[in-house]
A and B are shown apart, each in its own frame.
Chain A
Amino acid sequence: MRGNSVKGQCLVALFLLGCLLLDYPVLDLFASPTNVAGIPLLFVYVFSVWALLIALMTFVVERGRD
């Protein structure tokens, strides 16, 4: 785990992506009364993005270039 590894930089990029997607104003885009398969859009959106971020972080850590 070196100080300037590519993995670390990818993770910082994911951090910024997360800050963007999981905060207002982007969040507000999804706060509308629509449903996805019966489940509110906001709920689906937040949890999907969350799961996606975690999946990406897993990928970077476990399989990314060092």
Chain B
Amino acid sequence: MLIAPFIVLASFAYVGLLFAIARYGDKRADAGRSIIANPYIYALSLAVYCTSWTFYGSVGRAATTGMGFLPIYLGPTLMAALWWFVMYKVIRISKANRLTSIADFVASRYGKSQLLGGLVTVIAIVGVVPYIALQLKAISVSFSIMLRYPDVVMPDKQGAPLFIGDNTFYIAMLLAAFTILFGTRHLDATERHEGLVAAIAFESLVKLVAFIAVGVYVTYFMYDGFADIFARAERIPQLAVLLYEGGDSGRYSTWASLLFLSMLSIMFLPRQFQVSVVENVDERHLGKAVWLFPLYLLVINVFVMPIALGGLMHFPQGIVDADTYVLTLPMSVQQPWLILLVFIGGLSAATGMVIVETIALSTMACNDLVMPLLLRQRWLRLTEWRDLSGLLLGIRRGAIVVIFVLGYLYFSLAGEAYALVSIGLISFSAVAQFAPAIIGGIYWKGGTRLGAICGLAAGFLVWLYTLLLPSFAKSGWLPITFLSEGYLGTDLLLPEQLFGLRDFDNITHCLFWSMAANIGCYVGLSLARKPTGAEHSQATLFVDVLKSSTLAASPPFWRGRATVQDLLALLGRFLGPERAREAYTQYARSRGLPAFERLEADAALVQHTESLLAGAIGSASARVMMSSTVDEEPLALDEVLHIIDEASQALAYSRQLEQKSAQLQAATDELRRANQRLQELDRMKDDFISMVTHELRTPLTSIRAFSEILSTHADLDAEQRHKFLNVIIKESDRLTRLINQVLDLAKLDSGRAEWRAEAVDLREVIEDAATTLAQVYRDRGVTLELELPATHAPVVADRDRLMQVMLNLLSNAAKYCDRPDGRVHVALRIMPDRLQIDVRDNGIGISAADQELLFEKFRQVGDTVGRRRSGSGLGLAICRQIVDHFGGQLWVDSKPGAGSTFSFTLPRGSGQAARASASDSAVAAVRALHG
């Protein structure tokens, strides 16, 4: 049954099943009903960590080092406990900044540096190529072995031709084709591949089931349980050693360094970053993963030792490669279905790894290596291309093929000399170089771009020299003298005993020196120079991501000009116009706007666009594209530091306080002014009261005095009596007048005055007033002239009030015109919309300062000190009230020594404009005086 065509068919069927699951997953994702939004699926997808290394290689390692295969799985278990803090932060940062790969993460953290992104990509590709070779080897070997069923024969180690005619090459190309189909059908701004995750979770289950099946079979069907196997193994001395020592005897360091390496690898292997961070749907899934993933590791490793011992005991020494026991044991007992299951399990383990890893690597290669280089070629004018999505997909597919070819080459050139696990550890040591830059990046704001670049470069070079090149030398591709003599032939630079450090296995040795160089350069160079503005802002975004949400939400650090259409067009060139519009519509809706046309091209939109772009082409390239489209003003370092310095928060608060205190100050000032006015009005009220009482008292005093005289002196002659009585009468009149005026003003003020509206001819009013005061004028010797038009001058007003105004003006004019040739001229002019009356006198005039006081209540303007005019100072105030009531205006025009002109206007014929005069509250106090 297990003939080649059947095996091939079964393999294709299995991969086809995976593909179907992936398509189903993608369809459900598009419909919004994701099947992977589930913590169990998330935890299972993390198990892509277990590859052919786990499936085949662990048994091989256990057969030589006993429990020494285990630290690779204990490390991730311990690291999972730290995920609660570390991974959570990494996921949060990546979501907030829309980072889609490790290279993106590092580049973004250190000021969106394209150089750093490219460096990380190169290290990742070079470092992971051996790991991919490992998978190819596993598939190829297992396939070759299966072909020889039922004989158990190891495949030929030598002699396979390169490329054409080499089965492994075809396997590699097939895998490349599958990977392209799985992961590069379209560009997703978030780089999420829901279908892929579903397929990977399924694969994790398959390999777990397959391995447990073999384990159970070997332990309980080929032997009689754990105790039986161990008891039998104990009896064989070489095997007994394996049981009781943990790892290479005496080499404690190996165990510890493997523990440490695997802790870093579970975080920084590109495929692990992809499934745990980029593909993460909900950060709360991390909780389940913290214990589910270690549980998976435990279960899949329980049977490793029994299988290893079983194989060692079953097969004669040295014939069968221990790496193949998982397959060859069922083969040796002729269990075809189990064999097929195991083969599919191994295929699962290998394909899962290569697909996810190469997709992650191709994303990095496209976004962080190729695109930045292409963007630099100005002659290509990439920034002007209409649609770049085709180019991007093409680059990714090309990258996938190239990576597989490299993997194949490594396998051909160096893979044969090594056990599977040893190859894998070389890759672990490579990705460990990312640890200082990333861990430092999320916890230490002082990490700079220069430090990261030098640290990475130094660590990578040490790794190259102490692990990768020796692996070529051990396979014969480099001269073996490289190992024995080293570079420049000095003892100090022996690749596996650098600077004389002996007694360590090559992994520990490399780990020590590469970490020393990496961390040393990273810390040293970061401290040597201050971070730039961009670095500092990115550092804060990363390190403080869990602090105030305002920092993450506020769109910062951008000044420039762009329109919404520009941004949309830019986005469309990378995502395709449809998806770009979708993305913008979603964004607009999240902002509460009905359509994306209503969006404003503000900093928030620009940042959102940049992050969407970063999803497609990496953050460094996105930065370049944005700045080429948008006119940007570069930020000055001190500006950025000023903005985001921690003190700026305090500054914001203090500014708020300043504002509040300024408002308080303004309110206080207003209150003070109001208070002053109140005091002034109070004084004026007091003055008025004293004046009024004085005015009232004066006539009263006269009246009383003269009455008393009349009463006590009965012997006054008739003339004197007559004179006194006249005085009394006059004073009484004056008193009455005064009281009437005050009452009048109060009534006018309070609006309780009665107004009569009647048609009045203004000419008549003026003439009547003139007649009334004619005697006064004659007495004073002032001539009165009237200049009245011939036509009718009608107004609708209260006749008496108008008379009051005229009388007041005329009597004032007479009073202040006290000179021999005094003349008062009254003119009535009819204008289109109003009537204007001017009362001009050639008296002493009124100074400018006094003019302002004239119309105020309680004010009197005297020309000389001490010379009291009769009157209360209320006359003009009353006049103004009256004129205001009629909708007119009353004013004075005068210069000292040049006479005065009092003028008032009345609207023509129209009704009264009932104007409510705004009275000060202080006047209410005065009104109270009148009751």
**B227 and A37: CB pair below 8 A?**
yes
B291 contacts A by Cβ under 8 Å: yes
Please give, as numbers and ranges, the residues of chain B lying within 8 Å of A2 by CB-CB distance: 546
Please give, as numbers and ranges, the residues of chain A lying within 8 Å of B286 by CB-CB distance: 1
**A51 and B298: CB pair below 8 A?**
yes
Please give, as numbers and ranges, the residues of chain A lying within 8 Å of B288 by CB-CB distance: 61
Closest Cβ of chain A to B508, distance in Å, is 13
Closest Cβ of chain B to A13, distance in Å, is 9
With contacts A1-B284, A54-B294 taken as known, whether A15 is within 8 angstroms of B81 at the C-beta atoms is: yes
CA distance A18 to B283 in the complex (A): 25
With contacts A11-B82, A18-B78, A54-B298 taken as known, whether A38 is within 8 angstroms of B245 at the C-beta atoms is: no
B584 contacts A by Cβ under 8 Å: no
- Chain B 217-245: CB-based contact to A (< 8 A → 1; otherwise 0): 00000000011101100000000100111
B480 contacts A by Cβ under 8 Å: no
**B230 and A31: CB pair below 8 A?**
no
With contacts A1-B287, A32-B244, A42-B244 taken as known, whether A11 is within 8 angstroms of B84 at the C-beta atoms is: yes
**A24 and B80: CB pair below 8 A?**
no
**A11 and B230: CB pair below 8 A?**
no
With contacts A22-B74, A28-B246, A38-B226 taken as known, whether A53 is within 8 angstroms of B294 at the C-beta atoms is: yes
Closest to B302 in A: A47
**A50 and B82: CB pair below 8 A?**
no
B252 contacts A by Cβ under 8 Å: yes
CA distance A46 to B70 in the complex (A): 9
Closest Cβ of chain A to B289, distance in Å, is 9
**A40 and B85: CB pair below 8 A?**
no
CA distance A5 to B70 in the complex (A): 31
Contacts across chains A and B counted by CB atoms under 8 Å: 114
Closest Cβ of chain B to A51, distance in Å, is 6
**A12 and B298: CB pair below 8 A?**
no
Contact of A24 among B252, B283, B284, B302 (CB under 8 A): B252
B259 contacts A by Cβ under 8 Å: yes
B290 contacts A by Cβ under 8 Å: yes
Contact of A57 among B88, B290, B302, B546 (CB under 8 A): B290
B256 contacts A by Cβ under 8 Å: yes
Chain A, 25-65, CB within 8 A of any chain B CB: 25, 27-28, 31-33, 35, 37-43, 46-47, 50-51, 53-54, 57-58, 61-62
Please give, as numbers and ranges, the residues of chain B lying within 8 Å of A38 by CB-CB distance: 226-228, 230-231
**A40 and B230: CB pair below 8 A?**
yes
Closest Cβ of chain A to B398, distance in Å, is 40
With contacts A1-B88, A50-B74 taken as known, whether A33 is within 8 angstroms of B240 at the C-beta atoms is: yes
With contacts A33-B240, A40-B230 taken as known, whether A8 is within 8 angstroms of B298 at the C-beta atoms is: no
Please give, as numbers and ranges, the residues of chain B lying within 8 Å of A42 by CB-CB distance: 67, 243-246
- Chain B 234-271: CB-based contact to A (< 8 A → 1; otherwise 0): 00000010011110000010011001000000000000
CA distance A3 to B93 in the complex (A): 13
With contacts A15-B81, A23-B255, A57-B81 taken as known, whether A31 is within 8 angstroms of B246 at the C-beta atoms is: yes
With contacts A1-B284, A46-B70, A58-B291 taken as known, whether A18 is within 8 angstroms of B77 at the C-beta atoms is: yes
Closest to A49 in B: B74
**B255 and A24: CB pair below 8 A?**
yes
Contact of B85 among A12, A37, A58 (CB under 8 A): A12
CA distance A42 to B69 in the complex (A): 13
- Chain B 274-296: CB-based contact to A (< 8 A → 1; otherwise 0): 00000000011011101100110
CA distance A54 to B76 in the complex (A): 12
Please give, as numbers and ranges, the residues of chain A lying within 8 Å of B240 by CB-CB distance: 33
Contact of B255 among A7, A27, A40 (CB under 8 A): A27
Please give, as numbers and ranges, the residues of chain B lying within 8 Å of A25 by CB-CB distance: 252
Please give, as numbers and ranges, the residues of chain A lying within 8 Å of B89 by CB-CB distance: 3
Please give, as numbers and ranges, the residues of chain A lying within 8 Å of B78 by CB-CB distance: 15, 18-19, 22, 53
Q: List 7 A-B contacts (CB under 8 A).
A: A3-B85, A12-B82, A15-B79, A32-B244, A46-B70, A51-B298, A53-B294
Q: Which residues of A contact B (CB under 8 A)?
A: 1-3, 5, 7-8, 11-12, 14-15, 18-19, 22-25, 27-28, 31-33, 35, 37-43, 46-47, 50-51, 53-54, 57-58, 61-62
Top-4 shortest CB links A-B: A38-B227, A15-B81, A58-B291, A24-B252
Q: Which residues of B contact A (CB under 8 A)?
A: 67, 70, 74, 77-85, 88-89, 226-228, 230-231, 240, 243-246, 252, 255-256, 259, 283-284, 286-288, 290-291, 294-295, 298, 302, 305, 546
Kindly list 15 other residue pairs between chains A and B, CB separation below 8 angstroms, not including A33-B244, A38-B231: A3-B89, A8-B85, A12-B84, A15-B81, A15-B82, A18-B78, A18-B81, A22-B78, A31-B246, A32-B244, A38-B226, A39-B226, A50-B77, A53-B77, A54-B295
